[in-house]
Structure 1
């Protein structure tokens, strides 16, 4: 059986671009607004990864939508100032693309902020497919976004 790898799917946050400080700052600002002084950095770290809906619903189901809106507003305003590149990522992704791999981003973020991050890091040119929270019913870790990316790449 030939099992040659032809396709690579990437997460965005903390993988392709360093959004960790932006995410932590956005959670900190939001949570301090609703719960002053109750959440420290170490309490916030586990919130990186799950969807905002899952995280804020677990904290306060009644105000989750309001908290998400506040988080997103802070995140958007501070994006370009706090997002940085990881050393070697641009060159690595460029080399993978030039080597003929089909590349996709699969993320739990919304499309507008994903496109902004990819443009800022100049990685947008390398990805044939980007699957965001806006295109799926079930976010990661559900397989739906991964399967959608694979289908779009004919992989």
Structure 2
């Protein structure tokens, strides 16, 4: 028996290994506009929230200029620095074959998210894409998950599973009323993730298939 009507995935740190690209791009952007050097570890703790939140945290006003600089910095390095986690394409293919609806819910800028999906030919698997520009509020607010469900006319949030790698994914989904699964290949510590009390913890995407009951 199928356990969920909709599976929502985060992108960065869940499907694609982008942490090095993201922290490097923010370091360059912050240095350019403030002259300050920020350690990657300080940035990584905020990855999963919006660019507006991260830039503001490091005293960079999120304007068209600063966001545009970040986008160009990231895009120039993207294909050389982004990796896909093992089993991602195969898992999405299997879910699609089993007619499970799949969505992407990310705080990432739409153009940059599209680059990652295109690099590994993942976009055709998704029934809905919710990126930064699609909502006024971002993770950990529930609006991104609620927007994905609204677009697919999913009414019962208890049959929606959000798969992510950060506390922000878990909080977003919980506040929306969805179930949560956190991946163990996260850059966040097991203690940080356990403190959010996710419904499930998965060590492989094969475990996700079993969890979904397909």
- Return the TM-score normalized by structure 2: 0.66
Structure with more helix by fraction:
1
Equivalent position of 2:8 in the other structure: 9
Within 2, Cα distance between the matches of 1:133 and 1:41?
Answer: 22
Matches within 5 A, 1:37-116: 38-60=37-59, 63-65=61-63, 66-116=65-115
Aligned-pair RMSD on alpha carbons? Answer: 1.9
Equivalent position of 2:147 in the other structure: 148
Distance 1:42 1:4, change over 3 A: closer
Residue 138 of structure 1 aligns to a residue in which SS? Answer: coil
Deviations 1:107-135 (A, max 9, x none): 11122221121111111110011011111
**Structure 1 alignment gaps of length 5 or more:** none
**Structure 2 alignment gaps of length 5 or more:** 155-214
- Return the TM-score normalized by structure 1: 0.88
Give the number of equivalent residue pairs: 153
Deviations 1:78-109 (A, max 9, x none): 11111111111111111111111100001111
